[in-house]
Amino acid sequence: MSIIIKALVDKLTGKTVEPPQELVRIINEDCAGENNVEAVLIGTGLGVGPGKYIYHSKTILLDLEDIMFNKNRLTQHMLLLPAMWYSVLLVWWHELAHADQLESNPALALLPALPAKQELDADQYALERVLEWTSKQPTPPSIATMGWLGEKIRDMVNTLYHKYPTLADELDYMYKGAAMYASQVTCIGEFSDSALTELVNQVGEGKLGVVADDGNKFIDANDYFGICADSMHI
């Protein structure tokens, strides 16, 4: 059975919430032969938070608007485009993990909320998968291929450009691999001040990350998520 991927209509604009092309590819790949998910509905204002797995219909809901304005805690300090894109990936794989959890243990569907262990396991699975993705793709997809999300990112850039003229430079940095200012690395678990100093020094020495022409030091997504995984002992 092939997966149904449906882009819903934004109630405010009347426009279809087109998903990023790479997200569609990932969903199709993840659900090939997968019996736990039969449909993925992608929209805005769904009232389910960033995402939700509906057990009785084997459906995953993804709310791109909620993801955009309530970024994942791992991505909140990233540059604009990486923050949006990796938040989407983390939510998708988190909900896919819940699908497997509920199908293997249907009693979980009777609970008002999933236990902390299942949430942590889903977080860890999502982090493992985003680490795998960034090991093969060092930068997010182009804005032009990101559908509704790409349009919103363009709108934000145009709105913020005059207030933050360095934003254009950051967009350039992003496509060179920059995901976050090295000095702002934060993640789940412990990351000491001395470890942060060592990280910034390694970027400055060219051992990892990106050093911009203006001297700003950035870490790339794969290194950052690797630090998060290490701190979570994955």
pTM over 0.85: yes
Distance CA 156, CA 64 (A): 15
Sheet (strand 59-63) strand order: 4-7, 39-43, 59-63, 51-54
Q: Write the CB contacts of 182 (distance below 8 Å, at least 6 apart in sequence).
A: 199, 200, 203, 209, 217, 218, 219
pLDDT digits (tens, 9 = 90+) for 22-44: 999 999 999 987 778 999 999 99
Residue (of 70, 146, 129) closest to 94 by Cα position: 129
- Per residue in 156-170, pLDDT (tens digit) is 888 887 777 777 778
- Tell me the average pLDDT across 78-84: 90
Mean per-residue pLDDT over the chain, rounded: 90
Domain ranges of the chain: 4-144, 162-231
- Max mean pLDDT among 79-83, 169-173, 228-232 falls in 79-83
Q: Of all helices (H) and strands (E), which one includes residue 28?
A: helix 21-31
User: What is the pLDDT averaged over residues 84-97?
Assistant: 96
Q: Average pLDDT in the 68-87 region?
A: 87
Give dist(CA 141, CA 53) in Å, integer. 25
